[in-house]
Amino acid sequence: MNHRYSERICSTQKSFIREILKVTANPEIISFAGGLPNPNLIDDEGIQKAAAAVLKEDGKTALQYSTTEGHPPLREWIAERYRIRYGLTVDADNILITNGSQQCLDLVGKVYLDKGDAVIVEDPGYLGAIQSFSMFQATYLPVPLDEEGPDLDCLTGVLETSSAKFMYGIPNSQNPSGITYSENRRRDLASELCEHEIPFLEDDAYGELQFDGVARKPVSAYMDGEGILTGSFSKIFSPGMRMGWVCAPDAVMEKILIAKQASDLHSNYLSQRILAKYLEENDIDAHIAGINKEYRKRAEWMVSKMDKCFPDDVHYTRPTGGMFVWLTLPEGVSSGELFEAALKRNVAILPGTPFYADGGGNSTVRVNFSNSDKEEIEAGIEIVADVLDEIRNSPQ
Amino acid sequence: MNHRYSERICSTQKSFIREILKVTANPEIISFAGGLPNPNLIDDEGIQKAAAAVLKEDGKTALQYSTTEGHPPLREWIAERYRIRYGLTVDADNILITNGSQQCLDLVGKVYLDKGDAVIVEDPGYLGAIQSFSMFQATYLPVPLDEEGPDLDCLTGVLETSSAKFMYGIPNSQNPSGITYSENRRRDLASELCEHEIPFLEDDAYGELQFDGVARKPVSAYMDGEGILTGSFSKIFSPGMRMGWVCAPDAVMEKILIAKQASDLHSNYLSQRILAKYLEENDIDAHIAGINKEYRKRAEWMVSKMDKCFPDDVHYTRPTGGMFVWLTLPEGVSSGELFEAALKRNVAILPGTPFYADGGGNSTVRVNFSNSDKEEIEAGIEIVADVLDEIRNSPQ
């Protein structure tokens, strides 16, 4: 049969990272490629207790169809955390529970994007977002990042010459670059976007994973209630349960609700109930502090090893949160080549190229530290250094 | 802020049925409006055991990120059931686990539909599908149903004058009409679609809910491996866990996989593991037989009561499966009016109009029997009959 597929699907690539994850499932491989939380920091025992309690106390209801918006106490918990942690004026009605925060990108894409519409993205930007918006045939307006966040001169130029539907960004420990926007930049960015009436889709996957434990006000906090925030329990609870949320002003939420109904009716209700029960019965702040302590250690192990093994012309970030170190390789070494050679020695890294919506980034590499122990980190980085050396010294 | 929403979202309505479900959550209301499985037939104890076993034996893995395709043993279970029950030649690679079968519609929409593309639908057709395809700005080519299935003369006319991307249908206990396609019609429909190279998206939500227990070969079985099937555990296991799947030929599956990655990375992995464990530890066929026995009883209670209370010029189906009776009201009585009046007396029914992609259906009503007990069914139908009588006898 001659299937006549849509333009949208024919112009969207498979996710390189999802394909790599299949290779790295092999336990012999040291994988720095993914973004997996450390399994030792997933509280399976606490979740087991919460699951047992929910199914015992109210199983018939927890297993039945539920509302599109999500479980009210869970939505209220999220809203309250925004109020307390960030001073946002939101309530449960502004929260909708999604199937992981990746689904927020799909829903917001549905709500704003028609074929050819432009989205302002960070350069480099999160590849999962680029893939998601591509389903709606978006075009991209990349804005480079400096150490404090998006380059505002460049953004102003883009805003004055183009018509974007929204800007997408990750202000805390940006994926992949690791950059955290400064407070001034957040304020200035918000003011610039508001002036041009461009909504900011603020992906806060790593807001809780800041090693210093400081809560940084989101860009949305400076936008007079007009920001759209996405969040995730994947990094602080369980990624396999796919619990995320979107927070949006009432008028936008009305549209998101339609998109959610059409997409899958509602998110997994049993998992929402287990999560709500877990949050009730456990000290999530202590749990998060424990994760940050562990990830900080792992980041330090990785960076120390890089300090020892890497030549001076390899540049890399010193993470203050999140899960990744971002490398810039010396001229003449391509990340694709390094990836292939390291994989032959059973170490997986992630070339940075898929993070660049308009191509480029050939000298960049993302390296994950959250999902490896000290021995793996040290052995893996040593191999990457070896391989890099071999590539540079091999006859061209 | 002046949000510039997409054309797609502005032209899609909220789901009438999802909105009604909020009203009918009030326990004082007898609701025939939804499509909820009977809670007494959800095996919460069995699911509790399966959840405890998974979390105890392999919690860290079950709570971690997983593959986009889904849990291999669950996909193999589904493929094997297709092979044994329907004689299809499919394997686990043809199965992808979705967030309920509603998500299959979203994924297939992404794979096939660009703005303005046509989809052949049954008339009346499932409103959730109409809403889902509207996200991709589809147009609809409705084909009326007779007692054996889609009207083939009409379909031939449509195929010869229009260019559709695919046809969508529910051959077993169609929602909302209750019609089950005859074997001949399945074969002839398949041959007609194959001749015009039009894929059939076959929604089999009710294939296991056939009161006679007979497995009817899907239309896909006559399409030489080219059919796309969707299935759901909502009706036989738990709707709240949102476990559905899509079964597609290799080439189509490659595209669906991209759409799934972009939509939400993967379905809830913990729930997939609980479901797989449940299927391993329990006799699902006995469970399904029990559900069919109960639903047959409820359908009979409802139809008997209608036989007693309804005037001769109200027509209604005698269900052989599924969850619904489909009413056709006498001329001059609108289903909207009946809905409003019955709701005032605390009985909720579902007007048939949203099931007609091109409008119409003003005299039709869908009535659910699975989620009410004998007393509720008898009291509720009596009230509907009363209200109908009042409407007919009120001065116009």
Spatial separation of the C-alpha atoms in residues B258 and B254, rounded to whole Å: 7
Nearest CA in chain B to A57: B44
Name every chain B residue with its beta carbon within 8 A of the beta carbon of A110: 6, 8-9, 135
Cα gap A303→A32, rounded to integer Å = 13
Name residue, tokens 């749990």: A287
Cβ-contact B24, B34 below 8 angstroms: yes
Query: For A110, which of B6, B65, B252 is closest by C-beta distance?
Result: B6
Residue A4: the pLDDT is 95
Distance from CA of B197 to the nearest CA of A (A): 5
How near does any CA of chain B get to the CA of A162, in Å? 14
Where in the sequence of chain A do the CATH 3.40.640.10 domains occur? 45-281
Contact assignment for B60 to A47 by CB distance below 8 Å: no
Residues of A with Cβ-Cβ distance to B8 under 8 angstroms: 110, 114
pLDDT of residue B62: 98
- In this prediction, residue A369 carries a pLDDT of 97
Paired with A119 in beta bridges are: A140, A166
Which two tokens mark A363? 């000298």
**Is residue B352 within 8 Å of B24, Cβ to Cβ?**
no
Taking all residues of chain A, what is their mean pLDDT, rounded to a whole number?
95
Give the bridge partners for A391, in sequence order: none
Q: What is the 3-state secondary structure (H, E, C) of B236-301?
A: CCCCCCCEEEEECCHHHHHHHHHHHHHHHCCCCHHHHHHHHHHHHHCCHHHHHHHHHHHHHHHHHH
Q: For residue A57, which residues of chain B lie inside 8 Å, CB to CB?
A: none
For B252, the closest of A3, A67, A128 (CB atoms) is: A3
The 3 state secondary structure assigned to chain B is: CCCCCCHHHHCCCCCHHHHHHHHHCCCCCEECCCCCCCHHHCCHHHHHHHHHHHHHHHHHHHCCCCCCCCCHHHHHHHHHHHHHHHCCCCCHHHEEEEECCHHHHHHHHHHHCCCCCEEEEEECCCHHHHHHHHCCCCEEEEEEEECCEECHHHHHHHHHHCCEEEEEECCCCCCCCCCCCCHHHHHHHHHHHHHCCCCEEEECCCCCCECCCCCCCCHHHHCCCCCEEEEECCCCCCCCCCEEEEECCHHHHHHHHHHHHHHHCCCCHHHHHHHHHHHHHCCHHHHHHHHHHHHHHHHHHHHHHHHHHCCCCCEECCCCECCEEEEECCCCCCHHHHHHHHHHCCEECEECHHHCCCCCCCCEEEEECCCCCHHHHHHHHHHHHHHHHHHHHCCC
| Contact predicate B167/B113, CB 8 Å | no
- Omega cis (within 30) before A311: no
- Give B112's contacts in chain A (Cβ within 8 Å): 3-6, 9
In A, which residues are within 8 Å of B266 by CB distance?
242
Residues of chain B with pLDDT under 70: 396
**Of B50, B226, B236, whose CA–CA distance to B244 is shortest?**
B236
Contact A6 B110 (CB under 8 A): yes
Q: Could A113 and B59 be called an inter-chain contact, meaning their C-beta atoms sit closer than 8 Å?
A: no
Q: How far is CA B194 from CA A3, A99, B52, B186, in A?
A: 11, 36, 47, 12
ipTM: 0.96
How far apart are the C-alpha atoms of B165 and B111, rounded to whole Å? 10
CATH 3.90.1150.10 spans which residues of chain B? 7-43+286-393
Q: A23 pLDDT exceeds 80?
A: no
User: Between chain A and chain B, how many beta carbons pairs sit less than 8 Å apart?
Assistant: 262
CB-nearest to A63 from B110, B241, B263 is B241
pLDDT grade, residue A96 (50/70/90)?
very high
The full length of chain A comes to: 396
Instruction: Give the percent of chain A with pLDDT over 70.
Output: 100
pLDDT band at A63 (very low <50, low <70, confident <90, very high): very high
* Average of per-residue pLDDT across A118-147: 96
Q: Where in chain A is the domain with CATH 3.90.1150.10?
A: 7-36+286-393
Question: Which top CATH class is A45-281?
Answer: alpha beta
pLDDT tens for each residue of A252-308:
999 999 999 999 999 999 999 999 999 999 999 999 999 999 999 999 999 999 999
Interchain pair B262, A114: CB under 8 A = no
Q: Which CATH code for domain B58-281? A: 3.40.640.10
* φ, ψ at A314 (rounded to 5°): -95, 125
Give A253 to chain B, closest Cα distance, Å.
12
**pLDDT level of residue A27 (50, 70, 90 thresholds):** confident
Using a CB-CB distance cutoff of 8 angstroms, which residues of chain B are in contact with residue A22? 67
Contacts of A297 by beta carbon, 8 Å cutoff, 6+ apart = none
User: In which residue ranges of chain B is CATH 3.40.640.10 found?
Assistant: 58-281
User: How near does any CA of chain A get to the CA of B320, in Å?
Assistant: 24
Architecture of domain B7-43+286-393: Alpha-Beta Complex (3.90)
Topology adopted by domain A7-36+286-393 = Aspartate Aminotransferase, domain 1 (3.90.1150)
Closest residue in B to A269 (Cα–Cα):
B240
Interface test with A, best of B54, B99, B245 (most A CBs within 10 A): B99
Question: What's the CA gap between A360 and B54, in Å, rounded?
Answer: 44
Crossing angle of helices B152-161 and B183-195, rounded to 10°? 10
